[in-house]
Structure 1
Amino acid sequence: MTTLGEVIQTAVREPLPAYAQRRLFDPLGIEAPEWPFSPLGLAQAGGGLALRTRDLWKLGQLYLDGGRFGGRQVVPQEWVHQSLSAKATAREDADYGYLWWLMKIPNGDSIITAPTMSGSGGNAVFLLPEKRAVVVITTTNFNERQPHALTRTLLTRDLIPSL
């Protein structure tokens, strides 16, 4: 995702972290994101960004609300729609949009599609549009086998039924 970051900062003529802070993070009240950088000093645009749990929730809520936050259109609604639409079939239980997994999650006798930001160690942000909910799971399962399976079990066994 180094290429994506380079494309963005070239297009906006501003370093990606500064642009993202001004256009996205400041309107959401997100302070001090920790960016990973490539050996060439380019900000990584597709993974590794360290944010607090509440900040991850704000990003999820922004997308659940069609790009609006605090009464302001922060991200174009059409971009949100396109991002959360399947662009590729990634595997049997998930399609992929623009940097969002579209997880197919069992819910009783049905399957729901939950747009998901998936991070290392099983960290995840799930959008549950049918429930009007954003679920953020942050973990320390970096050295566990199948950390995303642990997160998914927590979501399907404990969290979704309680909603």
Structure 2
Amino acid sequence: MLYSTGSSHILSAALTQASGESTLALARRLLGEPLGITLPAWPRDPQGIYFGGNDMALSPHALIALGELYRHDGKIGDTRVLPEGWVEASWQPRGTSRWTGDRYGYGWFITTLEDTPVYYGRGFGGQGLYVIPARALTVVFTADPHPDTAGQRFSQEQLHRIVSLLLQTETQNGT
């Protein structure tokens, strides 16, 4: 497994070329509109291709909407937004991260916390989106990606501990 936003950027360029639309336009049409969320423009490379794996600056509300879309197998109510089978395919382990030891699918890290399967994505500086279908739970973390000191950033271990505590509390409360 070689995690690389460069790979996601190549995908962004391929989608742009194949569709004739920018990745931003595609994301707004295919995700933003059905989810009712705002997708602000994010940086582009010198050729004008929108970055494929970073700096999207999504709001917590937008991240929750995206997580809930995945938690509900790509559907909003009765409306299918993602192709059938995509969520399951993206949550299948394709490799293991040498940094975390967690498995990795199509854009999602896969782990187990408190005996519960957890799917998550991380962003720079402590951003996180955790989807936990078995507990009907989606959790979002946001943080200042440019704090004064690196020690003020949330690490993946810290985010995992917080989610574990949520899962423990939920179990103790019987919910």
TM-score, reference length from structure 2? 0.82
Amino acid at match of 1:125: L
Equivalent of residue 118 in structure 1, options 113, 116, 122:
122
Give the structure 2 partner of residue 104 of structure 1.
112
Distance in 1 (alpha carbons) for counterparts of 2:71 and 2:34: 16
Give the structure 2 partner of residue 4 of structure 1.
11
Q: CA RMSD in A?
A: 1.8
What number of residue pairs does the alignment pair up?
Answer: 158
1:18-70 C-alpha deviation (Å, 9 max, x unpaired): 11111111110111424122233210122221111011000000001000014
Is 2:22 the partner of 1:15? yes
Distance in 2 (alpha carbons) for counterparts of 1:113 and 1:36: 33
Give the structure 1 partner of residue 74 of structure 2.
67
- Structure 2 gaps of 5+ residues are 1-7, 171-175
- % identical equivalent positions: 28
Amino acid at match of 1:155: V
Is 2:41 the partner of 1:37? no
Amino acid at match of 2:137: A
Give the structure 1 partner of residue 61 of structure 2.
54
Deviation at 1:141? 5.7
Q: Would you say the 8 A contact 1:101–1:115 is kept in 2? A: yes
TM-score, reference length from structure 1? 0.87
Runs of 4+ in 1 over 6 A off after TM superposition: none
Distance in 2 (alpha carbons) for counterparts of 1:19 and 1:79: 17
* Correspondence list, 1:79-158, <5 A: 79-91=86-98, 93-105=101-113, 107=114, 111-140=115-144, 142-143=146-147, 144-145=150-151, 147-148=154-155, 149-157=157-165
Distance in 2 (alpha carbons) for counterparts of 1:44 and 1:32: 14
Amino acid at match of 2:66: L
Distance in 2 (alpha carbons) for counterparts of 1:123 and 1:132: 21
SS at match of 2:97: strand
Q: Would you say the 8 A contact 1:104–1:112 is kept in 2? A: yes
1:117-156 C-alpha deviation (Å, 9 max, x unpaired): 1111111111112101111111226443362232222222
- Structure 1 gaps of 5+ residues are none
Amino acid at match of 1:114: V
Distance in 2 (alpha carbons) for counterparts of 1:9 and 1:67: 22
Q: Would you say the 8 A contact 2:69–2:75 is kept in 1? A: yes
Q: Would you say the 8 A contact 1:4–1:46 is kept in 2? A: no
Amino acid at match of 1:100: W
**Which structure shows the higher strand fraction?**
1
Q: Would you say the 8 A contact 1:121–1:147 is kept in 2? A: yes
Q: Relative to structure 2, which stretch is displaced further, 42-51 or 21-30?
A: 42-51
